[in-house]
Amino acid sequence: MGEEMPAIGESSKVKSMLELLNIAKVLALVIGILGFLLAAWAAWPLIYGIWSSLFGAVYWIVAAIINLMAYMRMEEFVGMVKERRYSEFYDILITWMVLTLIFGVIVGVLLLIVFIQVNDIKTSSEFSSSPQTPPPPPQ
């Protein structure tokens, strides 16, 4: 009973954010595991002294680590959305969105969509919860 009613349109945005976060979680795990396999494949020419493949191997190792770290943070993100801590989630999401856009484009695009939705909710809740100032007294 002490719960606030969601703003108009908030519940549908929250549902879609939660679905996108779940999809991003699965994809982050897949890309993380696939990244280690691609790193091993990219590093294979190093055995024969072809050093140009080093950059690809390092990129995929970093991409795998970033995506697995994003995978581990997704439950925290879902909790923040469910608890309606949009400002805190917005601030943390910026970092993970940029990292996953660089090191795992698909997950980054999903987080970008969630970021836009959080921004809409955050902006609409700031306007709806701002106290009304009384008009100035007549002169």
Q: What is the dihedral of CA 69, 93, 112, 60, to 10 degrees?
A: -20
- Helices (DSSP H) in 44-104: which residue ranges? 54-82, 86-102
Strongest mean pLDDT among 8-17, 20-29, 42-51, 128-137: 20-29
| The pLDDT of residue 127 | 53
Percent of the residues in the chain that have a pLDDT greater than 90, as a whole number: 47
For residue 67, pLDDT over 80 is answered with: yes
Write down the pTM of the prediction. Answer: 0.75
